[in-house]
Amino acid sequence: MQPIVQARHLEKHFARFTAVKDVSFTIPRGKCFGFLGPNGAGKTTILRILLGLSPATGGQLTVFDLDIQQQAREIRRRIGVVPQQDNLDPDFTVRENLQIYASYFALPRREIESRIDRLLEFAALSERADAKTEHLSGGMKRRLTIARALINDPELVILDEPTTGLDPQARHVIWAKLSELRDRGTTLVLTTHYMEEAERLCDELVVMDHGLILDQGSPAQLIKRHVEPEVIEISGELPDSSELEQLCRIEHIGRSHYCYAHNPRPLLDHLQNQQDLIFLHRPADLEDVFLKLTGRELRDT
Amino acid sequence: MNAMNWQLPIIRRSALTIWRRNILVWRKLIGPAIVMNFGEPALYLLGLGFGLGFFIGEMANMPYLTFLASGIIASTAMTTASFEGMYSVYTRMVPQNTYEAILTTPLDIDDILAGEMLWCGTKSVFSGIAILLVAALLGAVHSWHALWAIPVVFLTGLCFAGPAIIMSALSPGYDFFNYYFVLAVTPMFIMCGVFYPISTLPEVMQSIVYLLPLTHAVELTRPLIAGNPVEHPLLHLGVLAGYTLIGYYFAVVLTRKRLIV
Ligand SMILES: Nc1ncnc2c1ncn2[C@@H]1O[C@H](COP(=O)(O)OP(=O)(O)OP(=O)(O)O)[C@@H](O)[C@H]1O
Ligand SMILES: [Mg+2]
């Protein structure tokens, strides 16, 4: 099947700063494709290029086989967007926000009312249809923004950090809604810095940092490729780490120690004999991959 | 630095959806809007028209009240469009991110700003009608002929919308607009023939004042309200239309530069 997005060697420079460097990826139809990266990695910049809202400095990009430079309007007609920051129209109620947004797509007004009812239902906002948007909670605003992104029945929905800043309940509700969408065949593209979100939702992932793609693949492939399958986290003062280093690959952050191994048995036996160490044995996950690829030092510096 | 996108804007029907959005918001706030529309001109006409009019009597062969009312109709079109094009457009462009949301639909900046300008023109018409009504009630208007001033007011609104939106595209914040009011709007209000005929100004100043759009708006509205023939209508309409087109073009180019980065 034709991929939905094909990007080749995308570059984006802001003055002398390079925000996106030689980025290539292919987004297949009907899948959830994720961009995973720390703050400033270039995720939002890539999404803006995808929408024709930021001209790339170099490279080629087609969306739905259309050229972004020539046919951005046609492309946007078929896409739904959930931006990083909610930008609902504060001059209107919940329902009016959907009506007004529908009018920008020139959707026939008769058809639209029933679709709005369905979307309000989907977003669990039917009760709040006449509320002003400023009176909604963060989770409700996010759900309304997702409903708004679906108003044109898009083939592709782009979500920039859909659950950042939400509480766990709200996050789970949104994850369920997004899975539902994907199961209906809508292609999803999302950015996140939550590993759990990427692991749950994404069929395929790009891990990026400093504008570069570090690796791509399914969550399972990435884990397999970069880290040993078993992790034992130890907290507390290690008496003798050289002995442990015989048994596993070990990384230290402060008083926490992460031991990665293919066979954790000998290590576990060794730890059983130590009295005051607290440890946790778990399978490796994306977070381990992420930290390995992007390093453990703090961002925003 | 991104290269500027100088491409000529394309005006499409979708601009009307932006106009419609604004009129729906306006409808919600119709109470205060009407008080503004009627209150301010009524004050001018009552206070200045009768107060000053008592001493002046006639100006340029018409009652001072008629002279003033026709000038105020044009200048209010200017201030209405300028306020809308600055404070309201800026609010939607920057703090409220309304344009950011609209730009993820098929609409472009071309459509958004064409819609905003049409809306500025429309709002000017609302205020123009209000003044016309007040003026008629005060006996300053004598014929239905005066209704021809309404399309002129619309064009005047369009003409001042462009520069105001340009200010929004360049502005770092609301305070910035004070410059434009002090350096452009207020001087035109005082110099362009709203309160007295331009012919009383020194010649050098006259030739400067003739370059300003408000002068031409006043030259059109005044005879239309007073029921006199308009002199050089094509010249005045041409100047207003020229400012409109050039203003729209630069508003689009500068807003692209601000938002499409
Ligand atoms: N308009 C701009 N001008 C200059 N630099 C910019 C501009 N937009 C983004 N950048 C820079 O480009 C880099 C990538 O930004 P981007 O917003 O794409 O990151 P991100 O991965 O979305 O980060 P976050 O997780 O914080 O949203 C950052 O260093 C940012 O400062
Ligand atoms: Mg971002």
CB of B28 less than 8 A from some CB of A: yes
* Helix count and strand count (H, E) for chain A: 11, 14
**Lowest-pLDDT range of A102-106, A113-117, A247-251, B21-25:** A247-251
A19 CA to centre of ligand 1 in angstroms: 7
**Lowest-pLDDT range of A239-248, B36-45, B51-60:** A239-248
Contacts of residue A93 in chain B, CB cutoff 8 Å? Answer: none
Beta bridge pairs of residue A253: A256
Domain limits of chain B? 15-259
Domain membership flag for residue A62: yes
Contact across the interface for B106 and A51, Cβ inside 8 Å? no
Contact across the interface for A53 and B107, Cβ inside 8 Å? no
Contact across the interface for B101 and A101, Cβ inside 8 Å? yes
Helix (H) or strand (E) holding A30: none
Burial class (CB in 10 A: 0-12, 13-18, 19+), B227: middle
Q: How far is CA A251 from CA A207, A228, A255, in A?
A: 21, 13, 11
Domain membership flag for residue A290: no
Query: Cβ(A249)–Cβ(A228) under 8 Å?
Result: yes
Asked if residue A151 and residue A15 are part of one domain, the reply reads yes
Asked if residue A240 and residue A279 are part of one domain, the reply reads yes
Contacts of residue A152 in chain B, CB cutoff 8 Å? Answer: 105
Contacts of residue A90 in chain B, CB cutoff 8 Å? Answer: 96
User: pLDDT tens-digit profile of A148-177?
Assistant: 999 999 999 999 999 998 999 989 999 999
What CA–CA distance (Å, rounded) separates A30 from A185? 5
Position B2 scores a pLDDT of: 57
Asked if residue A170 and residue A274 are part of one domain, the reply reads no
User: pLDDT tens-digit profile of B175-212?
Assistant: 999 999 999 999 999 999 999 999 999 999 999 999 99
User: pLDDT tens-digit profile of B167-182?
Assistant: 999 999 999 999 999 9
Q: What is the DSSP string of A97-138?
A: HHHHHHHHTT--HHHHHHHHHHHHHHTT-GGGTTSBGGGS-H
Q: What is the DSSP letter of A82?
A: E
Domain membership flag for residue A301: no
For an interface test with B, which of A48, A66, A104, A130 has the most B Cβ atoms less than 10 Å from its Cβ? A104
Amino acid at A142: R
Domain membership flag for residue A298: no
Alpha carbon dihedral A66, A71, A72, A77, in 10-degree steps, equals -80
- Is A41 strand, coil or helix? coil
Q: pTM of the entire structure?
A: 0.94
CA distance A76 to chain B (A): 5
CB of B91 less than 8 A from some CB of A: no
Atom of ligand 1 nearest to the CA of A20: 14
Q: What is the DSSP letter of A229?
A: S
Position B1 scores a pLDDT of: 45
Domain count across chain A: 2
Domain membership flag for residue A291: no
Asked if residue A89 and residue A195 are part of one domain, the reply reads yes
**Lowest-pLDDT range of B51-65, B154-168, B239-253:** B51-65
- Is A88 strand, coil or helix? coil
Asked if residue A252 and residue A195 are part of one domain, the reply reads no
CB of B7 less than 8 A from some CB of A: no
User: pLDDT tens-digit profile of B116-145?
Assistant: 999 999 999 999 999 999 999 999 998 999
CB of B100 less than 8 A from some CB of A: yes
Structure tokens at A170: 């709200």
Position A256 scores a pLDDT of: 84
Asked if residue A15 and residue A121 are part of one domain, the reply reads yes
Asked if residue A196 and residue A244 are part of one domain, the reply reads no
Amino acid at A91: D
Domain membership flag for residue A9: yes
Contact across the interface for B100 and A54, Cβ inside 8 Å? no
Domain range enclosing A29: 5-218
- Name the domain boundary from A180, A199, A218: A218
For B14, the closest of A51, A79, A106 (CB atoms) is A106
Query: Cβ(B85)–Cβ(B116) under 8 Å?
Result: yes
- Is A144 strand, coil or helix? helix
Maximum Cα–Cα distance across chain B = 60
ipTM of the complex: 0.93
Asked if residue A119 and residue A14 are part of one domain, the reply reads yes
Residue B93: closest C-alpha in chain A: A87
Query: Cβ(B157)–Cβ(B77) under 8 Å?
Result: yes
Beta bridge pairs of residue A216: A206
Query: Cβ(A172)–Cβ(A202) under 8 Å?
Result: no
Q: Higher model confidence: residue A111 or residue A47?
A: A47
Residues 240 through 299 of chain A touching chain B, CB cutoff 8 Å: none
Position B59 scores a pLDDT of: 93
Contact across the interface for A85 and B25, Cβ inside 8 Å? no
Helix (H) or strand (E) holding A228: none
Domain membership flag for residue A132: yes
For chain B, give the secondary structure using H, E and C.
Answer: CCCCCCCCCCCCCCHHHHHHHHHHHHHHCHHHHHHHHHHHHHHHHHHHHHHHHHHHCEECCEEHHHHHHHHHHHHHHHHHHHHHHHHHHHHHHCCCCHHHHHCCCCCCHHHHHHHHHHHHHHHHHHHHHHHHHHHHHCCCCCCHHHHHHHHHHHHHHHHHHHHHHHHHHHCCCHHHHHHHHHHHHHHHHHHCCCCCCHHHCCHHHHHHHCCCHHHHHHHHHHHHHHCCCCCCHHHHHHHHHHHHHHHHHHHHHHHHHHHCC
User: pLDDT tens-digit profile of A21-67?
Assistant: 999 999 999 999 999 999 999 999 999 999 999 999 999 999 999 99
Domain membership flag for residue A289: no
